[in-house]
Every structure is written in C-alpha cells, then in structure tokens.
Structure 1
Amino acid sequence: MFSAAIFDMDGLLIDSERTIMNTWIAVGHGLGVHIRPVDYAEIIGRSLPECHAMLAKMFGEEQLFQEALTRVRQRLHSPTTPPLFPLKSGVHALLTALVKAGVPCAVASSSSGQEIRSRLARVDVLDFFDAIAGGDEVARGKPDPAVYELAASRLRKSPSDCLAFEDSENGVLAAHRAGIRVVTVPDLKRPSAEVIGVSLTMLQSLDQAIECASRWFDIEDLPA
C-alpha cells in the first residue's frame, strides 16, 4: 500500500513526552503553580511557540513563566547516562527492517530540526532517516499538516505513498489533513473518537508494527 514511512519523534520514537511533562509539573510546583497532567496533555504534539504560549497562560505571569522555562531547560539539558530520552520499544527493529527493505523513512516532528538530530543521534538512530522536517521549518505546527507535507516532499513522495506513525492527537490530525494514512501508537493521552476514526489502525507499541509492515509496504519477506 505504501512506499515510504514518516515518523513523529517525541513519544513515538523516543520516550521523552513523559519526562518533559513531569519536569514542567515539578518546576511549576516549585514555583507555586499547579499544572495537571490533563491540562499539559493539550499541548502535546504542538509547535514549540504554541507550547510556550499555552504554558505561559498556565503560569499566569510572563516573568514566572520565563523563570520556569529556564529551570526546565537546565534540567532537560543536563548530561545523563543512560540518555534522558531513551528509544522506545520496537523502534530499532522496525527501522532496521524498513531500511533493509529499501523503504525510505523521514521524521516529521514539532521539535526543531536541530533538536531532532541531537535526540536521535544520542540513541543511534539518526542515520536511518533520509529526511527530517522540524517544527521550526513551518509556519504552523501540528495539527496543521505543513510539517507532514514537508517531510513527504523531502522524500519525493506524494502523501498517498506515505504511512505515518504518531502518538498524539495533534500529530494524527496533522498527518490525516496532509492526506497521509496514519498508524496511532498512543503515549500519554487516550485517543479521542476522532483520532480512532481517522487512524488506519492503533497499536500498543511499535513492536506490533513489525508484524504488519510486510502488508503495509507490500514486501513479501520483510528482513528481520
């Protein structure tokens, strides 16, 4: 059915969304601001400027938000071993199989291009990707389709040739609005009825995607 794969990054390829959310909640608590996970979940998948605008409203005062942003950045950029954002289950095996089978892969993420390359390099999967499209390269972030349209164009594929893999509601809607079929692998937030309705299928993890890949990409014998 498809000849290319496009992946979200945070919460899909790497286990980062939970760490980032918990960091904002902890920093907020230290500054006297209570951020509920259900409120934070609304920003997942959006562009960085949109995320910051929504977080600024939660903190109320610009000065307080800027202090929180400084503290969050300090915590998230502190060197750690193992990596702060580890690779999620099934990712390496799926990417290895697709690349061996000649299926080009791209990343379409709300994170900046620099952040994408940095985070994926730390977990040794950057070289699997033929193209990267970051949230800093488009005028509007997910659920706007622009970042997915950019990723498909960089693979020199039409949207209908591509299959997207997403964890967030905003990401699923972005891929769908770009004309790209999407497999949903939920991370922090339970999918809405709308997301379920537009998804090709839903999986618990990318481990399950390996079992379906032969059919999705019209490969008779997908290499292990």
Structure 2
Amino acid sequence: MFAAAIFDMDGLLIDSERPIMAAWIDAARTLDIELSHSQYMQVVGLSTSESQAVLAALLGGDEAYLHAIDQVRQRLQLERSDGEPLFPIKTGAAEFLDALRARGIRCAVASSSTRGQIQACLGSLDLLHHFSAFAGGDEVARAKPDPALYLLAAQRLEVAPADCIAFEDSENGAKAALAAGMRVVVVPDLKHPPAAIVERAFHVLESLHHAVPHLPLWFPAETARLP
C-alpha cells in the first residue's frame, strides 16, 4: 500500500518534549515567572523561530528569553553528563524501525530540528542506520504546518508523497504531512490532536509499538525498496 515511511523526531522517536519543557519552566522561575504547562504547550510543534517569539512574549521580552535559553542549555548539558541519553527512545520506536528495516522499507526523518540536531540525537541512540534520508528545519524556508519538510523528505527518498505514510505527534506536523499529500498516523505525545486532525488521520495510536501489527497491510512485501 505504501512504499516509504517518514517520521517526525521530537516527541515521536525521542522523548525530548518533556525534559525540554521542564527545563524551560525551571528557567522561567529564575526570572520569577511561573510558566505553566498550558502556556508552554503553545510552542509544541512550532519551528525554532516561532517558538522563540512565543516564549519571548511569555517571559517578557527578548532579554528575558536570552537569559532563559542560557539556563535551559546549561540544565540540559548537566543532565547529559550522567551517561544516560538526554532524550531516550520513545516506547516502540526501536521495535517499529527494526520491523520496517526487516521488510526493506525506506525511511526518512522530517523534523523541525536542524539536520545537525537530527543526526546528533539519532546517532547518540544508534538509530541513524534506519534512515535513508533526512530533512531538517534549517533546510526549508517554511516550517510545519507547511508541507515543505515532508516534500523534501519524499524527494530525497525518491518516492512520490502519495506513496509515503507519515508518523507525527503534533497537530502542525500532521497538517504538514496531510498538505504534502501523505497519509498520517498520529501518535500523540504531550497533547492529543484536535478532532479535525483525528478525523483526517489514517490512524491515531498510543505508541509506535501499536503500529507494528499494521505493517503487513501498510507495507506489503512487494513494496520493499531498500537497496
């Protein structure tokens, strides 16, 4: 049915949203600002420039934002020093990627993170070998929900967008994949997608572990394209 799989990264393949949110909430407290979970949720799924604008507004301006992001970077760097991955693999992600590779299915990443960040994060978790192509937020002019990232990933896979299935956790990501002409499986992370996205989604699953039983239908043996 499909020839390739394209994945978002943050909140889908790696559990990054929670530690980053916690770091921002703690950083806001150093400015005597109580940044709530619901306020932070406004930035989930946005591009770096968009999230910077929202956070600066919430924190009281660019100067406060620069102070806070320095605190965030310091905290995340300290957490990385204990020998454990800063952003662990999400439940079912390694299992699903192994199953796709066993069937010879080409995979790509289409993430708002920069291409360097994608490769660093996935490399630290020994996941890079699962992917034939990468499309980072620094390589396109327009961020999700614009389809540019997904179209670039499909182009690099040399697969038509209609022959790709996208896996996303965020509303903007799902909108981007749908706009690219792909079917979308939504695996919610910090927040559940709105009804309008649920209605248009191919499936909404609790984790990528729950995607494994669908593989024979989504990727029949004859669609395998790995060299």
TM-score interval, normalised by the smaller of the two chains: over 0.9
Structure 1 residue matching 2:221: 3-state secondary structure = coil
Give the whole-Å Cα distance in 2 for the aligned partners of 1:185 and 1:155.
23
- Structure 1 residue 205, shift from structure 2 partner: 0.5
Alignment of 1:53-92 (within 5 A): 53-78=53-78, 79-80=80-81, 81-92=83-94
Structure 2, unaligned runs of 5 or more: none
Question: Paired residue for 2:115?
Answer: 113
Report the identity percentage: 50
Report the residue type matching 2:181 in the other structure: G
Matched, 1:154 2:145: no
Give the whole-Å Cα distance in 1 for the aligned partners of 2:43 and 2:160.
29
Structure 1, unaligned runs of 5 or more: none
Correspondence for 2:175 among 162, 173, 176: 173
Structure 2 residue matching 1:77: 3-state secondary structure = helix
Question: Paired residue for 2:145?
Answer: 143
Question: Paired residue for 2:194?
Answer: 192
The alignment yields a C-alpha RMSD, in angstroms, of: 1.3
Report which stretch shifted further, 36-45 or 169-178: 36-45
Report the residue type matching 1:18 in the other structure: R
Report the residue type matching 1:15 in the other structure: D
- Structure 1 residue 87, shift from structure 2 partner: 0.4
Segments ≥4 residues shifted beyond 6 Å = none
Report the residue type matching 1:106 in the other structure: A
Question: Paired residue for 1:6?
Answer: 6
Give the whole-Å Cα distance in 2 for the aligned partners of 1:122 and 1:77.
14
Structure 2 residue matching 1:55: 3-state secondary structure = helix
Normalising by structure 2, report the TM-score.
0.94
Question: Paired residue for 1:45?
Answer: 45
Give the whole-Å Cα distance in 2 for the aligned partners of 1:43 and 1:143.
13
Normalising by structure 1, report the TM-score.
0.95
TM-superposition CA deviations, 1:72-131 (whole Å, max 9, x none): 112223333210100011111111111121110000001000000001011110111000
Aligned residues: 221
- Structure 1 residue 189, shift from structure 2 partner: 0.5
- Structure 1 residue 54, shift from structure 2 partner: 1.1
- Structure 1 residue 61, shift from structure 2 partner: 2.1
Give the whole-Å Cα distance in 2 for the aligned partners of 1:40 and 1:14.
19
